[in-house]
Amino acid sequence: MGEPEPTVHEGQFHRVEVHADHVVCHPRTPAAAARLPRRSALLRTVAGLGLGVHTPEPIAELADPPRLVLTRVPGEPLPPEALASPAVLASAADQLAALLARLATAPATDVPRQPATHWRDFADAVTAELYPSMSPAGRARADAELAALRALPALDTAVVHGDLGAENLLWEWHAGLPVLTGVIDWDEVALGDQAEDLAALSASYGPELLAALRPSPAVAARAATIRGSFALQQALAAQRDGDADELADGLAGYR
């Protein structure tokens, strides 16, 4: 018998084939294809950070068509409804807190640093590239969200995953409790503000998990501001990649 058919996942930038012992990432747009060498280099850097969990490692970069072959990370995403159990919530929060602590202290010499103007640059880009597609009410909503972003301090105090949502955290179950086995999709990794990762965790798992992680009031406030920009982040990336479906989804609340 041959290898079973791979499981296929459709992401914003890649179509991902999950095989028994490896993963193949097929870029969905020419822009995503052009980023494959950088993605491979970043994954090699992340593998050296000593995060205590599995991360994908490059096996091969192939052309015609362009694609990236990676090691398969064990585990599956944790359904948000699983956190309704207090024991599961506590276990997941403890492990995520440990991961965040390691990200905050990782030897990140080779990790790119977000520029001090990161959020201001993003806000300016949204204004220039997305406002023409918004309604007046949508622009007013975006104005408020972008003003809050522009007021964020420029921080580079931790390695930030950049998309630490439920789909990128892989778990296995042992004795009725989840064990964090791996973290995938490190395309946006950078030195920045850990509130960005807390925003993604909150968006995926809800306020109960964020409360269990016990961020300071200032960090929680920054996370809420960043979370409020997620639709615009999706839309801007889609605009630049020429992805009409993701653009329409991201701008749905601004038209």
Q: Are residues 110 and 228 in the same domain?
A: yes
Q: Does residue 102 lie in a domain region?
A: yes
Q: Are residues 60 and 106 in the same domain?
A: no
Q: Are residues 97 and 152 in the same domain?
A: yes
Q: Are residues 39 and 130 in the same domain?
A: no
Percent pLDDT > 70 in the chain is: 99
Active site residue 163: yes
Q: At what angle do helices 195-205 and 217-227 cross, to 10 degrees?
A: 70
Residue 48 DSSP label? T
6 or 208, higher pLDDT = 208
Query: How far are the Cα atoms of 172, 174, 233 from residue 6, in angstroms, in the given order?
Result: 20, 25, 30
* Confidence at 207, pLDDT banded by 50, 70, 90: very high
Catalytic-labelled residue, pool 21, 121, 163, 241: 163
Residue 2 pLDDT exceeds 90: no
Counting runs of H as helices and runs of E as strands, what totals does the chain give? 10, 9
Q: Are residues 51 and 144 in the same domain?
A: no
- Domain tally, the chain: 2
Q: Are residues 61 and 108 in the same domain?
A: no
Query: How far are the Cα atoms of 64, 220, 223 from residue 215, in angstroms, in the given order?
Result: 46, 6, 9
Minimum mean pLDDT range among 22-36, 93-107, 164-178:
22-36
What is the secondary structure of 113-148 as a DSSP string?
A: BPPTTHHHHHHHHHHHHTGGGS-HHHHHHHHHHHHH
Average pLDDT, the chain: 95
Q: Are residues 51 and 173 in the same domain?
A: no
Q: Are residues 33 and 86 in the same domain?
A: no
Q: Are residues 34 and 86 in the same domain?
A: no
Q: What is the CATH number of the domain that holds 20?
A: 3.30.200.20
Residue 134 pLDDT exceeds 90: yes
Q: Are residues 133 and 234 in the same domain?
A: yes
**What span, in angstroms and rounded, lies between the C-alpha atoms of 193 and 225?**
12
Residue 13, pLDDT score: 83
Give the domain range for residue 25: 7-71
Neighbour count for residue 125 (Cβ, 10 Å):
14
Among 47, 71, 95, identify where a domain stops: 71
